[in-house]
Amino acid sequence: MKTQELIRKIKELKKAKNAIILVHNYQRPEIYDVADFIGDSLELAIRAKRTKAKVIVFCGVDFMAESAKLLNPAKRVLIPDVEAKCPMAAMATAGKLRQKKTEYPRAGVVAYINTNAATKAESDVCCTSANFKEAVEEVSAHEIIFVPDYNMAKYVQTKTRKKIIPWPGFCVVHDAVDPKAVKKLKWRHPKAKVMAHPENPEDVLKLADHVCGTGGMIKYAKTSKAKEFIVVTEEGMCERLRREVKGKKFYPAAGACQNMKKTTLEKVYACLRDGTNEVKVDAAIAEKARRALDRMLKLK
């Protein structure tokens, strides 16, 4: 089927099946066209929690769809491609985290939302790039094991007096950003402001005018007087920014997440039509992981 026909059929199916499609910022541009909501991990978690739809189709990677299921245990959550996985989330297993907790028995655990359910279940509270500071302060312990992103943990340390114990994980896209490439873009576009995701290495963040998650990038681009921006996160974010913030220019400084790009309109249509690729979480794990997520959603 042609793109427009696929979009039409997906919208018809959504209505017929009382479904909602949640789409992460890093998805392909054509996926935006069937979205009920596009956003970052925190925004999507909130939408998943509030929806009255019976079916949630999550266009993102595995941990995102899993989180939607945790927040909506009675609803069907579908993911268009079961192979759309987050390598960073896989770097922090529940078993390894339990071992780390024995090494630091007085430490609390803050799990970045980029973790699987079993790891969330071993945590005190979850966080996103938008509310990590509040999450760290929410935990009473002075020492905080922060999983799974080492680069983000180092950035978190600059925002709190607590001792952050980093985990040796990383985002394959952000960790590969070369500061020299960012400097070259700054030279080519001297009036551009640099927006960088906290998953980037420290030497990249030092070049930024503003460090924030993807939701924060939209807010910054809208309110800034600047007309040009260098965007140091997954390249798909530039398309979202161009759609959301008209009349301004955005230059990508990072590569593509191949796992995010595995979602296609054909796969969205197939999983919605057939009800395939349903996300399920073990009940015992889900109960504990849900507590960490709910605690995050209550943060100011």
Same domain, yes or no: 81 and 93: no
Domain that holds residue 225: 179-252
The pLDDT of residue 266 is above 70 = yes
CATH no. for residue 14? 3.40.50.10800
Q: What confidence score (pLDDT) does residue 46 get?
A: 87
Encoding tokens for residue 92? 């922090």
Kindly state whether residues 165 and 192 are assigned to the same domain: no
Mean pLDDT score, 132-156 = 97
- 156 and 289 both lie in a single domain: yes
* 145, 271: one domain: no
Q: Is the pLDDT of residue 179 over 90?
A: yes
Same domain assignment for residues 210 and 68: no
201 token code pair: 């290495």
Q: Give yes or no for residue 300 having a pLDDT over 80.
A: no
The alpha carbons of the chain give a radius of gyration, in whole angstroms, of: 19
The domain tally of the chain equals: 3
* 3-state SS class at 190: coil
What would the pLDDT profile of 13-70 be if each residue is shown by its tens digit? 999 999 999 999 999 999 999 999 999 888 898 898 899 999 999 999 999 999 999 9
Residues 291 and 146 in one domain: yes
Q: Each residue of 194-204: pLDDT tens digit?
A: 999 999 999 99
- 94 and 164 housed in the same domain: yes
265 and 237 together in one domain: no
β-strand 108-112 against 228-232: which pairing, if any? Answer: unpaired
